[in-house]
Structure formats: C-alpha cells, structure tokens
Amino acid sequence: MTVLAVVLATLILAGCKGASTPGERQSRRDLGAVSQAYRPHQARPPLPVLSTNSTLDDFLRFAILNHPQVEAAYYDWAESVERITVERSMPDPQITFQAYIQNVFTSVMPGLMQAFPGPGKLSAAANVATAESKSKYAAFETAVLQIAFALKQAYFQLWFLDQKIEINRQTLDLLANLEKIARAQNESGKVTLQDVYRAQIERDQLATELANLEDSRRPLTAQLKAALGLSREQPDPPQPPLFQASSTNLTGDALLDTAFARNPRLKAMEAEVRLAEASIAVARKSKVPDFTAGLSADALASPTLYWPQASMTLPIWRDKIAAQIAAAQAARSAAQARLSNEQLAVTVDFAMKSYDYREVTRNLALLENQLVPEARQSLEIARAGYLSGQIDFFNLIDAERTLLNFQLTEVEARARREIVLADLSLTIAGVAPAGAPLLP
C-alpha cells in the first residue's frame, strides 16, 4: 500500500502545473498576437501572389512572411518565451529507493524527494528569462525592418534602372534623328562629314551604355529575389510595378522622438539593461539557501516505519556571492553605457539621414522645375541653330549630353530620396510597414 501510495502521488504530481508570473503571461499574450498574423497554427500563412500588377505593399508582405531571417528571429523569440516557464518551474521530484539485504530483503524503503529553491529564486530567474525574451522580440522586430528596407532598396534600384534604360533609348532615337540632320546638312554642303561621324560615335557609346544597363538587371533582380526570401531554385519574381513613392507624416523633432521610442536597436539595448538588472536580483538571491524535503517508508516493517528527510544548502562562500553580485552590476553598467552610446549613434544617424533627405529633395525640385525643362529647351534652340548654320555640331551634341545627364540625375535623385526615406523611417525611426506582424 505504501509503494502504491508513492506511485500514485508521483503520477498526480506529474500532471501538476506551476504558477505563471505576470511577465510570462504578458509574453505569451504578445507571442500569441504576433503568431496569429505571422505563423497561425504554426504554419506560414498564404503568401501574396506576385505579378506585374502587385503593389509595393504586396512585395513587402511577401518578403516579411517568407524571408528565413525573419523566421529565424521569430522562433528565437518563441523559444525564449517558452524558457520563462522552464525557469520559474520547480525542480522535478525524485523517487528514491533504499533496501537492506541480509541474504534476503530485510527492509525496502521507497520514497519521494523534492527540492525547494530559496524564496524568490524562481521568480528572479523568471524575470531574467522575461527580460531576455524582450531582447529576442527586439531582434525579431529588427529583422522585419531590415528585410523591409532591403526590399524597398532593391525595388527602387530596379525602378531607377528601368528609368535609365528608357531615357537612354529615347536619347538613342534623338541621336538617330540628329545623325539624319547631319547627313542632310553634309549632302547640302553646309557641314563636313565629321558631324556625321560625331553623331555615330555618340550613338555607339550610348548603345554600349544601354547594353551595360540591360546586363545590370540580373544582379539587381537577384537582390530583389534575395529580399523576398526566394531560393536559387525558385523562379525569378516579376519586375516591380509602377513607381510608388513613399510618404511620411513625421518631420523634424517628431520623427526623432519616434526614433527614440521605436528604434529597434535602442529597444534591444533597453532590454539588455533590464536583463542585467534581473541578473543582479538573481545574484543577490545566491545568498539564500535551498531546501530539500523527502519521505520514505519501510514497506516490510510492521507497523510501517516512516523516514522523513530534510536538507539545506549553506551559502557560506561570501567571496563567491560578492563576485556574482559585482559581475552582475558590472554587466548592468556596461549595458547602460551601450544604451547611451546607441542613443548618441541614433541621434547622429538621424541628423545625417535627415540632411541627406532635405538635400536630395532640394536637388530633385531644382532638376524637375528648372534644369531639365531648361536643358530640353536649350536642345531645341541648339537644333534650330544648327539647321540655320548659327552653331556647330559640337554645341548641338553638348546640349544633348546636358539634357541626358540632367534626366539621369533626376531619376537617380528620385530613387535616392526614396531609399533615404526608407532608411530614415524603417532603420532609424522603426516605423514598420502597414500590416507588419509586430506588436502595436
């Protein structure tokens, strides 16, 4: 009966559940909220079907849900949330067995032992695991923002390439027209054949540049494919659709305030500070003793003899305890210093990127409103002047080159503005794309 009672008690205890901490409950709620959008039922949700009609938001959603870097960060976070339960749980009980044998069994003593960590130790360990899970979530959020930025960067670079190719093709048509004009002027005896050769040289150079641009599509497509999380064996994604400009309602100090509140690097550093503070609490609990209690019974004795047992650790090595506390305090100081350094870095990055954004916006306005229209008008005047014999072919070609350079610079400025804005909003301010599977 005693043996049966011990076995039954063990089976009952095997179904027990510990008391969760507030941090564990909140972490599980956060994980559940994100998993509903990112990995419902532990499976990838249906991905958007990418086509030439897909929007930039479709590409972003596909990349975030499909990229292995984001997936790895998500499961690292999920694993850290599960570890909270492990850290706050009681140690497993132990079944013990003793016997005295003198030719036969004279005494059989099954028993049960349970260790009890010192008061506050389990909750302190749970706090450490909770703080670590916050750091892992910051890493997951960082991965989402990094992939979103990589996708946008590849998207705008491909758009920039398409625009450059189109401008060069239009310029080739223009050069073909200028060559016809030069031939007509030569046949009428107004100019030498040198003008025709100049037009052909300019055309051949531009044709080679166009071929190089066409060839550069392959590595840029590979960048877009990588940003989408597509493997080498999978087919290439469709080319991005029409250009979609980004927009933000945050400017100046408001954007900097958002950066300090949402920047994933700062959130990771703040989580490290909380982790170090929780580790200090664990180190201070090392001076608290642990306990063990157990009970065994002699199943062959009549009446049954019971043998209670109890033990307690003696944390007498004060130098070790002091070193543990000092090490945890030093780790906290280092984490606080890293946080301060990261705040300085974010401030500097914000100032530099903000300047880049304002500079490229001013340059883009100048190109759109003045330089490109004036260069186009200048080319028309040069063409009329060449036909009337007022200017030479060199000046006509120079006007053509000026217009081409301004048009390419305008497209480059537009793409650079979008990339800087994406960097500013995603990497620095931490403003996630709409529909990203992140906590509000």
- Going from N- to C-terminal start, the domains of the chain cover 2-428
- Provide the 10 A C-beta neighbour count for residue 405: 12
> Residue 418 in contact with residue 246, Cβ under 8 Å?
yes
- State the pLDDT at residue 428: 85
Q: Nearest-5° angle of CA 69, CA 71, CA 77?
A: 105
How far is it, in rounded angstroms, from Cα 128 to Cα 375?
A: 65
Give the tens place of pLDDT for each residue, 39-64. Answer: 998 899 999 998 888 888 899 999 99
> Residue 223 in contact with residue 157, Cβ under 8 Å?
yes
Q: Which residue type occupies 368?
A: E
Q: What is the CA radius of gyration of the chain?
A: 36
Residue identified by tokens 């009952």 is 12
- State the pLDDT at residue 392: 86
- Residues (pLDDT < 50) of the chain are 4, 11
CA 220 to chain CA mean position, Å: 20
Superfamily the domain 2-428 falls into = Outer membrane efflux proteins (OEP) (1.20.1600.10)
How far is it, in rounded angstroms, from Cα 186 to Cα 179?
A: 10
> Residue 343 in contact with residue 260, Cβ under 8 Å?
yes
Integer CA distances (angstroms), 365 to 72, 247, 337, 375, in order: 42, 16, 42, 15
* Residues 6 or more apart whose Cβ sits within 8 Å of residue 58: 48, 50
> Residue 179 in contact with residue 196, Cβ under 8 Å?
yes
How far is it, in rounded angstroms, from Cα 208 to Cα 98?
A: 90
- State the pLDDT at residue 101: 79
- State the pLDDT at residue 256: 79
